[in-house]
């Protein structure tokens, strides 16, 4: 069946380094993707999104890259900070009226 998944369950990075969180998706009909951040005890928080007609989008310290050829999505965080420690989820949507399908999540741990 169709699924959205993440390659690694945990990622540990040094404070100040760049982080790259990867996500694979299998639904070729997906047209919209979102990255969420979830801190302990809180609901997921929107970080950045990208439509399928783009391959890159930048926000504040974050960049999302989309490679439709290999069905791969990544989130890059520049100059990772302790406050970036959280679980990150990718989500995809197949069509304007479809629900989001979430990946399993990856934990980002920032070492001081």
Partner 1 sequence: GAGVSQSPSNKVTEKGKDVELRCDPISGHTALYWYRQSLGQGLEFLIYFQGNSAPDKSGLPSDRFSAERTGGSVSTLTIQRTQQEDSAVYLCASSNPGTGIPLAKNIQYFGAGTRLSVL
CA geometry: angle 14, 20, 31, nearest 5 deg: 155
Closest CB to partner 1 among residues 42, 112? 42
E strand intervals along the chain: 4-6, 10-14, 19-25, 32-38, 45-51, 56-58, 62-67, 72-77, 86-93, 100-102, 106-111
Q: What is the x/- site pattern for partner 1, positions 47-76, by CB under 8 A?
A: --x-x-x-----------------------
Q: What is the x/- site pattern for partner 1, positions 85-104, by CB under 8 A?
A: ----x---x--xx-xxxxxx
Q: Which residues bind partner 1 (CB under 8 A)?
A: 31-32, 34, 36, 41-46, 49, 51, 53, 89, 93, 96-97, 99-105
């Amino acid at each position: 069946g169709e699924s959205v998944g993440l390659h690694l369950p945990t990622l540990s990075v040094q404070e100040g380094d760049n982080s790259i969180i990867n996500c694979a998706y299998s639904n070729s009909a997906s047209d919209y993707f979102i990255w969420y951040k979830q801190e302990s005890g809180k609901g997921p928080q929107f970080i950045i999104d990208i439509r399928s007609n783009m391959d890159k989008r930048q926000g504040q310290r974050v960049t999302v890259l989309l490679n439709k050829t290999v069905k791969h999505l990544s989130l890059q965080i520049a100059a990772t900070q302790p406050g970036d420690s959280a679980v990150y989820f990718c989500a995809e949507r197949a069509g304007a009226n479809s629900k989001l399908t979430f990946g399993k999540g990856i934990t980002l741990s920032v070492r001081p």
